[in-house]
Structure 1
């Protein structure tokens, strides 16, 4: 499920949630709802690209996270931290499945 929110500063952001309501990914802030919608459509069109739009990262504490890129390679969102690489890979599968809903 994808939910669009408007923050107190007037920026828009989308939040990608799993079927049970867990937050899988939060987007960067966008200036308009239209720009947010365009980005959502763009990433949904990429869901069949074998995950090439996911950037896997590890922070200095050894935690894993996923950054989501659009079709131009710009990072448009990031997951929370995972304690294991397997957890991160499972998170990617959940993100892909949520994009199909």
Structure 2
């Protein structure tokens, strides 16, 4: 499920959630609903790109995270932190599977 939040000032953000409600990926802030909607329409196509839109990163504390980029190379979302590289790879799999199963947008 993708949960969409309207933020103060008229901006928008989405969170990709697993079936059990865990946040897998949190988006950047979008300045308009139109920009958000365009990104959400493209998100399934990004999933089918053999992972080339997932950037694996390590923070300064040695924790792992994933950033999802659009087709122009702009970061559109980031995962939470993982304590291991294997956990991060499993997170990518979960994000991909959740994107593939998205049928509902929850706008709040």
TM-score class, shorter-chain normalisation, is: over 0.9
Structure 1 unmatched runs, 5+: none
4+ runs deviating over 2 angstroms = none
Q: Answer with 33-42 or 56-65: which moved more.
A: 33-42
In structure 1, the partner of 2:33 is 33
Structure 2 unmatched runs, 5+: 102-108
| TM-score computed with the length of structure 1 as normaliser | 0.95
In structure 1, the partner of 2:49 is 49
Aligned partners of 1:43 and 1:71 also within 8 Å = no
Higher relative contact order (CA 8 A, sep 6+): 2
Q: What is the alpha-carbon distance in structure 2 between the residues aligned to residue 24 and residue 11 of structure 1?
A: 21
Q: Aligned pair count?
A: 101
| TM-score computed with the length of structure 2 as normaliser | 0.89
Aligned-residue Cα RMSD (Å) equals 0.8
